[in-house]
């Protein structure tokens, strides 16, 4: 029996079996709260923060940053009653001589560890204070106040991957600051800033330690960071701030570099290989004069209610796909062996290139959205992907995908189907080209579409009609909206 509880890497859903520890948000000796974020983990689909399953004091960290850990493997040990006195060394595997002899009071305070498989308060999927369900950070509310995490680098996490860190004697909580302290907590304490603010500072190359916080208790806000970044940009001599760390290619004596295949790249490779050699792909191309579509976008941007909305050609392509699906429902289906599953909803995937690799988050039930709602959903999807915070749920359940290769100046391509989907559209660059218009050669805005589809479900006639309808919409979206809706 022990009050020391080991927290295993939880199942983050969608059949994921492992995750890479990106960053520890706590260190040995820290006093933590229930549901406080303790570690950031990258799976094959997303980077997520995992909350503490219990309140208490961190006794051991079992794996350093950069380690790949299987689901169900212990990653951290927490003393759930740090005020009860010293603990036995055997609870974390440290030598008995490294710890004081437990007192009678501490033995009396020992708790019975939960039976294997029991769901405790604070466990993801289990009950939490107030009767709600504990969830991953970012997926639901918390009932406890946020505890400021220590600055990364204050106390380095031990590098031993296989052995736990030796536990430390329980320490009394640090005194709480009673007023602002230039962005710092108690004297000599860590900078007070929320995780998004820390990331913003890192991206902009701003050293938080040099700032005076304007938030509660002197915490640093986004405005504080942005002001500092602007000052650094406009000053005659740049401020001496820490530049964001960048990965430097390291080549050996054989002039070769070896990059581990993991995370998003690993999952993408597996999915693409499975799809390419399972579904018989066919790709068709269509070149379209989209001059009227570009003018329609300009008129849309000029409207008062659309002035603060991100409007791009991809918005019209997405709308064209959604309307074409209504005319050809079989395109939005899945091959299930002895049957074809046709779906009455469209979870529209938008392929996004991120620092972690290619991901395909999707907009749920996109066919039911108005044009404005679709524009807002696409903006949110792109911004979330850029921050690396796209959740596994947002990348699952896609039914039809668009890949915008045109943003890279590419005319079109032959995309591979995401597993389980029957069609994917490549949208190429919009270029001014000579085009025969009303019997004369004129400069027009032209793009090329590439549609890949599963020939088990979609034959040449259906694929051609679907691509034709998308092209007709883009050639004259206003007329198509009047005729099709």
Catalytic machinery residues: 455
The answer to whether the Cα torsion of 56, 150, 388, 358 is positive or negative is: negative
**How many residues does this entry show for the chain?**
485
Residue labelled with tokens 């004596």: 253
| Listed residue (263, 337, 322) closest to 485, CA to CA | 322
**Helices and strands (H, E) in the chain, number of each type:** 9, 19
Contact 195, 40 (CB under 8 A): no
Helix (H, G, I), strand (E, B) or coil at 101: coil
The answer to whether the Cα torsion of 255, 259, 265, 267 is positive or negative is: positive
| Listed residue (67, 63, 84) closest to 4, CA to CA | 84
Task: Give one DSSP letter per residue of 439-463, joined into a string.
Answer: TEEEEEEEEEEEEEEETTT--HHHH
Contact 3, 112 (CB under 8 A): no
Residue 434 CA to its chain's centroid (Å): 42
Residue 383, Cβ density class (10 Å: 0-12 exposed, 13-18 middle, ≥19 buried): exposed
Euclidean distance between CA atoms 112 and 115, whole angstroms: 9
Euclidean distance between CA atoms 264 and 358, whole angstroms: 7
Long-range contacts of 202-208 (CB under 8 A, 24+ apart): 202/244, 203/244, 204/228, 204/229, 205/229, 205/232, 205/241, 205/242, 205/243, 205/244, 206/232, 206/241, 206/242, 207/241, 207/242, 208/151, 208/183
């Amino acid at each position: 029996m022990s009050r020391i509880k080991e927290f295993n890497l939880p199942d983050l859903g969608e059949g994921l079996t492992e995750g890479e520890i990106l960053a520890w948000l706590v260190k040995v000796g820290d006093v933590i709260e229930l549901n406080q974020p303790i570690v950031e983990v990258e799976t094959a689909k997303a980077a997520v923060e995992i909350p503490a399953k219990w309140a208490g004091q961190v006794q051991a960290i079992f794996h350093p940053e950069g380690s790949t850990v299987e689901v169900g493997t212990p990653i951290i040990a927490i003393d759930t009653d740090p005020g009860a006195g010293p603990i036995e060394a055997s609870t974390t595997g440290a030598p008995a001589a490294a710890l004081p002899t437990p007192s009678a009071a501490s033995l009396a305070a020992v708790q019975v560890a939960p039976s294997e498989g029991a769901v405790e308060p604070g466990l993801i999927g289990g009950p939490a204070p107030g009767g709600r369900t504990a969830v991953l950070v970012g997926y639901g509310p918390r009932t406890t106040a946020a505890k400021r995490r220590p600055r990364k680098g204050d106390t380095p996490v031990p590098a031993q991957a296989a052995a736990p860190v030796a536990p430390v004697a329980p320490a009394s909580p640090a005194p709480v600051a009673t007023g602002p302290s230039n962005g710092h907590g108690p004297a000599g304490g860590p900078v007070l800033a929320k995780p998004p603010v820390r990331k913003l500072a890192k991206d902009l190359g701003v050293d938080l330690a040099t700032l005076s916080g304007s938030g509660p208790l002197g915490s640093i806000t986004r405005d504080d960071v942005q002001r500092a970044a602007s000052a650094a940009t406009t000053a005659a001599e740049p401020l001496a701030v820490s530049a964001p760390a960048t990965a430097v290619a390291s080549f050996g004596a054989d002039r070769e570099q070896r990059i581990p295949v993991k995370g998003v790249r690993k999952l993408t490779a597996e999915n693409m290989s499975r799809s390419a050699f399972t579904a018989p792909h066919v790709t068709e191309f269509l070149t379209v004069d989209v001059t009227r579509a570009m003018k329609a976008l300009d008129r849309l941007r000029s409207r008062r209610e659309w002035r603060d909305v991100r409007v791009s050609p991809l918005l019209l392509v997405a709308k064209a796909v959604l309307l074409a699906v209504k005319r050809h429902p079989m395109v939005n289906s899945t091959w299930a062996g002895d049957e074809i599953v046709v779906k009455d909803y469209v979870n529209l995937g938008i392929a996004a290139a991120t620092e972690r690799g290619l991901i395909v988050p999707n907009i749920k039930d996109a066919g039911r959205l108005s044009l404005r709602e679709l524009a807002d959903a696409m903006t949110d999807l792109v911004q979330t992907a850029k921050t690396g915070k796209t959740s596994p749920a947002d990348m699952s359940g896609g039914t039809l995908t668009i890949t915008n290769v045109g943003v890279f100046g590419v005319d079109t391509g032959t995309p591979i189907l995401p597993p389980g989907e029957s069609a994917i559209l490549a949208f190429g660059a919009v270029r001014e080209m000579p085009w025969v218009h009303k019997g004369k050669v004129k400069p027009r805005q032209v793009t090329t579409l590439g549609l890949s589809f599963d020939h088990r479900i979609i034959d040449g006639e259906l694929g051609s009609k679907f691509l034709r309808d998308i092209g007709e919409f883009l050639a004259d979206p206003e007329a198509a909206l009047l005729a099709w809706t």
